[in-house]
Amino acid sequence: ALDYWIMAVLALLLFLFTFFVKGYGTFINVLFFASFFYGLGIVLLNDYFHRLLLLAAAIGIGYLFQETPVLVFVFGLLIPTLIHVFLFTGLFILHGALRSRSTLGVVSLLVFVGCALSFFLYQPDFTYRASEYAQKALIDSTFVNLNGALLERFNLGPFDRQTVFESGIGLSLMRFIAFAYTYHYLNWFSKIQVIKWHHVPRRQLALVLAIWVASVGLYAYNYFWGLIALYLMSVMHVFMELPLNFRSMGGIATEMRKLARGKAAASVS
């Protein structure tokens, strides 16, 4: 339980430094970096002393390198966004397919990857311009920085309004990001046996539904205020899920070794 309280404190600090503490913008990269390695420590280390030691070391290292491009791009930008919703979701699907030896699970992973690739391999020949509301929402929330960073990092085009909202590659990126987030959410909603939706009391489900409706309404009214209201819960969700992500990676390695041993034994016999 202490681990998750520590994660909650890190998420709260990140929320405060993002919206209310001015002049320390790059420190959020340190918090993402530290939380990532603390999540790894929860899985690999057995006692709190060594976990806290790892956390302190991660904060120190992150502080020294908080403005380096790799740390900013990977930990400050990708970990809480595309790595969380796309890469970790794909690893979770792969782990489930390997553990259950499910052909259908492998097919679902291939469909998942195929859909993501399709946004870049196929670009329909039509003109489209995002609405003013959509453009304002992405810009005001600074979420558009993800699009811009991907454009610039992979030399796909300049980070300007026309490229992001009107160009072929800009729209491909937008479709991919939208797909990654939507699939991530729907994938978790479909995990009935994992989340135990059917065991949640109706009163709690009604409360969850009411919060969801209010959140959607707030986003529709003012996207930036919706982002602020839900940012803390979003970051806590990312941080709390990190140990599960690392366990999925370990599970994949374990299942791959089992498959390799099985094939080796079959070839010997």
With 0.85 as the threshold, say if the pTM is over it: yes
What contacts 259, CB < 8 A, 6 or more positions away? 98
Element of type H or E holding 217 = helix 202-221
Whole-number CA gyration radius for the chain? 21
d(CA 74, CA 33): 9
User: pLDDT at residue 268 above 70?
Assistant: no
Token reading at 2: 């202490």
CB 160 within 8 A of CB 62: no
Nearest Cα neighbor of 173 from 123, 208, 131, 135 is 123
Least confident residue range of 7-21, 102-116, 125-139, 143-157: 125-139
% helix, strand, coil for the chain, step of 5: 85, 0, 15
| Higher pLDDT pick, 61 / 25 | 61
